Amino acid sequence: MGRFRLGREALILVVAVAAAAGYVFWLESDSHNSIDIRRVGRQIDQAVNHRLEHAIARKMLVLGMDAGDWEIIIPMVNRGELPTFSKLIREGTYGRLRSMLKYKSPSLWTTVATGKMPEKHGILDFLSKQLGTYQTVPITNNLRHSAAIWNVLDYFGLRTSIVRWFATWPAEELEHGCMVSQWDAKHSKAALETKYAVYPESLSQELVKYTAVPDAFGIQKLQSVTDFPYDPDYYKKHKSGSPEFQRQNHLYWTIVLYQEDELAARVARYLLKHKNPDFVAAYFRGADGAGHCFWKYYRPINIENNFEVDEEDRAKLRDMIPAYYRFLDQKFAQILAEVDDSWTVVLLSDHGMRAQPDWIWMKFMAYDCNPLLKALGYQEWTPRGDIDWPRTRIGELQFTFTDVRKFYINLEGREKEGIVPLKEYEALRRELAAKLKSMRTISGKPFCYKIDLPKIKDPLTETRHGDIEFLPSSNVRQSDVLDLGEAGRFPVERIAFPPLHSGGHREDGIILFKGPGIKRNYRIRDAHILDVAETMLNLWGLPAAADMDGKSLAPEIVTPEVRDRLVEGTIDTYDVIPRKLPRVDGLEGVDSGVYDMMMERLKALGYIVERAKT
């Protein structure tokens, strides 16, 4: 059998019978209702027949660096601290990558892989509500509704290896490759042995044997960077949320980040050396955590914000961010040593990092809007301060440092203890939306910036969106007081909490391409995170899809000698390509300790907070 899949007729047959074998399709949105499978089949036939004549890339390595920022990298390169980055810049084409700060890392990294807006691909946040429960759980691969680049390349017969990419658990079957999904664990053995973490499953023990990271690695790396005393029993000695608890908690999670990124590097090197892949994509998350936790020690004086920092603490912690960049520089050098000059290398980040701005204070606050919903008469609470769901009409479930608040109606027939009849659903949505839209502080400032009532086909089965999505105004401060009319006055401090971390996201990330046919030492003029997938497809000699949302950078970054080879035009969609995922319910099969650790990380980095009982 050849390396490439059959086109039109095979695709029609696959679509007709694959569902019975457990395969998942993406054709769920309105935009796909009119897809002509035969037409797409002909388009795929054409792409198969002509890919090699259009291809610039023969092999491709993608290094994803969460929160990588040129404002940190370039000064370190100039000081000679990052030789790997320096070489990539000299030999490649690079620039700023505009991101979308409305969205968080799981959404952005899935956009990198699909070329689509989060509303299309389905990964909208860190957490997702489980149908029929009042629980939010970390997002999973099942929620993605669009083909990722590895699905396309795998379908075309290319050997793909995916290493710890965001939102890839449970690992999906790749006919010509493997996937080590992104899952949180301090111990690499647990990360590799978690159910559905690795495909094929037989690869799991192979990786445990040859790539497992010693448990002491992270603490040793921390101790090589700082002599700030780390106390492993800090959570027993200090009150949660206290300054000392936060410092120790940030040190602990830095240890975990070193463990996990070391594991990603070892797995990527092993797969490159032993599995002969055509395409490798590996994700490294530690620079994001270091930036969030230690920015105030790295740069206490900023345009955005000035931090009060103990000078003794700063002397010991000011190098935490540069040290992590040096660590990743070394890891990337080790991975690049496994490939030769025939490989195309892509290095990118989902956003940058800067000081947490104080001039958009409320935008970065954590909200627990349930006390406000109670004051408006939509909730009742138990004597312990928990939501009393059998007497509650509307509630908020996830309490995150994110812009958009999601409110869920306690719908009868959808929720475990639902009390709102379906016939009242739409009227209740509009009633709350009107109240929020008209709400003012006692000084007259609007509390609401934007209200959205998502289009939901079947409220009884759909929980991907909130029933009401609310974006507070960034002009409101924690010290403000809301005027609720007959319900009285309501202090904003009851629902808004200041950020726990000093580093925040900058909109511009990084992008770099290097390899055969790529310009050297060239600055990309206008790159957006939506452009990455289309560019990679074009470099492979494949057309982008018309339902993607970006543009290809390939015409700008390739040399004049190969530009005429670039494929032109688009196909309708790649979302007809089936994929197979384990049929799991929520986090079925995942050890509760691993789940708890993932939630604790999101709390430590300030993405979610516990609801304060009243």
Give the DSSP H/E element, type plus range, for residue 111.
Answer: helix 105-114
For residue 515, pLDDT over 80 is answered with: yes
Of 44-58, 258-272, 524-538, minimum mean pLDDT range: 44-58
Q: Could you please report the per-residue DSSP string of 218-233?
A: HHHHHHHH--SPP-TT
The C-alpha atoms of residue 555 and residue 539 are separated, in whole angstroms, by: 10
Does 610 reside within a domain? no
Looking at every residue in the chain, the average pLDDT score rounds to 86
Better-predicted residue by pLDDT, 488 or 132: 488
CA distances from 101 to 55, 177, 440, 472 (A): 33, 33, 26, 15
In a domain, 2, yes or no: no
Q: Give pLDDT, residue 319.
A: 97
φ, ψ (nearest 5 deg) of residue 423:
-65, -20
Q: In this structure, are 350 and 368 located in the same domain?
A: no
- Domain shared by 335 and 433, yes or no: no
**Do both 433 and 580 map to the same domain?**
no
Mean pLDDT along residues 399-404: 61
Q: Which of 472, 497, 522 is the last residue of a domain?
A: 497
Tell me which H or E stretch contains 506.
strand 503-506
Residue 386 lies in domain: 361-497
Query: Of 450, 480, 497, which one is at a domain's C-terminal end?
Result: 497
Which CATH number is 221's domain given?
3.40.720.10
Q: 3-state secondary structure string, 189-206?
A: HHHHHCCCCEECCHHHHH
Q: State yes or no: pLDDT of 361 exceeds 60.
A: no
Let me know whether 325 and 415 are in one domain: no
R_g of the chain computed on alpha carbons: 25
198, part of any domain: yes
DSSP codes, 126-185: SEEEPTTSS-EEE--GGG--S--HHHHHHHTT--EEEES-TT-PSPPB-TT-EEE-----
Position 502 confidence tier, pLDDT thresholds 50, 70, 90: confident
> Rounded distance, CA 127 to CA 146, Å?
19
Q: Kindly tell me if the per-residue pLDDT of 406 is higher than 60.
A: yes
Q: Is the separation of the CB atoms in 126 and 106 below 8 Å?
A: yes
Q: pLDDT value at position 366?
A: 59
Residues 352, 372 within the same domain:
no
Whether 433 and 413 map to the same domain: the answer is yes
Q: Do 453 and 581 share a domain, yes or no?
A: no
Same domain, 483 and 538: no
* DSSP bridge pairs for 511: 95, 348
Residue 460: pLDDT over 60: yes
Same domain, 454 and 492: yes
| 34 C-beta neighbours (distance < 10 Å), count | 7
Confidence at residue 195, expressed as pLDDT on a 0 to 100 scale: 83
Domain's final residue, options 439, 473, 497: 497
pLDDT score for 142: 83
Angle in degrees, CA 306, 307, 308, rounded to 5: 130
Mean pLDDT of 263-288: 97
Tally of domains within the chain: 2
> 457: pLDDT confidence band, cut at 50, 70 and 90?
confident
pTM of the model: 0.88
Whether 141 and 80 share a structural domain: yes
Is residue 23 pLDDT above 60, yes or no?
A: no
- On whether both 442 and 367 belong to a single domain, the answer is yes
Termini Cα distance of the chain: 66
Residue 165 inside a domain? The answer is yes
Among candidate residues 123, 135, 218, the one with its CA nearest the CA of residue 169 = 123
Q: 203 and 339 in one domain? A: yes
Q: How many alpha carbons fall within 13 Å on the CB side of residue 274? A: 12
Say if residue 521's pLDDT is above 70. yes
Q: State residue 613's pLDDT score.
A: 46
Q: What is the mean pLDDT of residues 369-389?
A: 93
